[in-house]
Amino acid sequence: MSDPAIFTIGSLAQRFGVPPWKIRRLFERGLLPPAARVGAYRVIHSLDLPKVEDALIAAGYLPEKEVTSCR
């Protein structure tokens, strides 16, 4: 099954394995720009997933990615 085009706070939390409050906190702390809204829900486009992951790492909510060199 392919990824949906948009994610809610809850679906992002599930995808990254963190509680929803950590995703909300990224917006509150200014680590991510304000999200679009559909009614009461914040929605994030799938193209922004790398930005969300980088913000989670910057906030200390996810471990940094391991960098492997190709020799």
Per residue in 18-62, pLDDT tens? 999 999 999 999 999 999 999 999 999 999 999 999 999 999 999
- Ramachandran assignment for 60, one of left (phi > 0), alpha (psi -120 to 50 degrees), beta (any other): left
CA 26/CA 24 separation, integer angstroms = 5
What is the pTM (predicted TM-score) of this model? 0.83
Residue 69's pLDDT band, with cuts at 50, 70 and 90, is: low
What tokens appear for 15 in the block? 């995808």
Q: Where are the domains of the chain?
A: 6-47
Q: If DSSP codes are grouped into helix, strand and coil, which group holds residue 9? A: helix
